[in-house]
A and B are shown apart, each in its own frame.
Chain A
Amino acid sequence: MSVEKSPAADLAGQVTNKDPALGLQAVVALRRLLEELERLHVDNARDQGWTWQSIATALQVSRQSVHEKHATRRKTTGKED
């Protein structure tokens, strides 16, 4: 059996790094990544004809909140009428 640290153990070490600055920076970056992925996949769903309601259900949020967040943006950028 290898005594070297596995990549997973190494990763776990970083996730639980005791330096708050590092941990919080990763949280902020992750939040931005989440927002970007949501935008990407909402756009894709709309382009494929999904209703706002079905997107909201899939995202487990209200129709109103998903519409508020994405509909105006899509109109502004000319992706939707």
Chain B
Amino acid sequence: MFDRYTELAKRSLVAAQDAALSMGHDFIGTEHVLLGLTQTAGPAGEALRAQGVELRQARDTTAHLLEEAGTAATGGQPAKDALASIGIDVVEIQRRADDTFGPGAFRFPRPQFTPHAKKTLEFTLREAAALGHEQIDTGHLLLGLLAEGEGVAVKVLHTLDVDPESLRQAVLDRMTRQST
């Protein structure tokens, strides 16, 4: 699925996962993808920063919006509790896995993409195809986010007074400049 992604684009998705984990979320939503792009080099990060989107502010806004929406930031505790209720001790599994395979090899619950984030990845492919690009870079991911248009990411952008259309134009400009 990600074999056509550039190194930077992959890195931005890893940053998205890290953002989700550090915020105590057990899912990767469009908002985390946006945070990942904001802190990664490449056309998307540049365009976002040029529009005044800064990581700290975007992160605070995200946390605030999710809190308002009643989204749990529990680090997957309910899933661990559910397993404890049928006699499975995830803390113990984690400890042994870390010992044997090194820290990070086992992660429970590993954040999964939300439906909106999955949609975003589909739109990302479409944006690349429409531009006739073989490789998928951070710019396509940002275009995908904007095209999807229904996730928390666009709400974050709206709260930060970013106009989606001018952001779209800004990232397209940077992508064409980059490829010429």
CB within 8 Å of B: which of A21-52? 22, 25-26, 28-30, 32-33, 35-37, 39-40, 43-44
B92 CB-CB contact with A under 8 Å: no
B115 CB-CB contact with A under 8 Å: no
Q: How far is the CA of A26 from the CA of B88 in the complex (A)?
A: 10
Select which of A17, A25, A40 is within 8 A of B105 by beta carbon: A40
B1 CB-CB contact with A under 8 Å: yes
**For residue B3, which residues in chain A have a CB less than 8 angstroms away from its CB?**
72, 75-76
Q: How many residues of B contact A (CB 8 A)?
A: 24
CB within 8 Å of A: which of B65-95? 78-80, 82-83, 85-88, 90, 93
Select which of B82, B87, B97, B105 is within 8 A of A29 by beta carbon: B82
**For residue A15, which residues in chain B have a CB less than 8 angstroms away from its CB?**
86-87
A11 CB-CB contact with B under 8 Å: yes
B110 CB-CB contact with A under 8 Å: yes
A14 CB-CB contact with B under 8 Å: yes
A32 and B79 in contact, given A43-B105, A76-B3, A76-B10 (Cβ under 8 angstroms): yes
B70 to chain A minimum Cβ distance, whole angstroms, is: 17
**For residue B82, which residues in chain A have a CB less than 8 angstroms away from its CB?**
22, 25-26, 28-30
A30 to chain B minimum Cβ distance, whole angstroms, is: 7
**For residue A39, which residues in chain B have a CB less than 8 angstroms away from its CB?**
110
Q: Choose among B1, B3, B79, B90 the residue with the greatest number of A CB atoms under 10 Å from its CB.
A: B79
Contact B106 A26 (CB under 8 A): no
Q: How far is the CA of A14 from the CA of B83 in the complex (A)?
A: 11
B interface residue numbers (CB < 8 A to A)? 1-3, 5, 10, 78-80, 82-83, 85-88, 90, 93, 97, 101, 105-110
19 extra interface residue pairs, beta carbon distance < 8 Å, beyond A72-B1, A76-B2: A11-B87, A14-B86, A15-B87, A25-B78, A25-B82, A26-B83, A28-B79, A29-B83, A29-B109, A32-B108, A33-B88, A33-B90, A36-B107, A36-B109, A36-B110, A37-B106, A72-B2, A75-B3, A76-B1
A interface residue numbers (CB < 8 A to B)? 11, 14-15, 17, 22, 25-26, 28-30, 32-33, 35-37, 39-40, 43-44, 72, 75-76
A-B contact pairs, 6 of them (CB 8 A): A25-B79, A35-B110, A39-B110, A72-B3, A76-B2, A76-B3
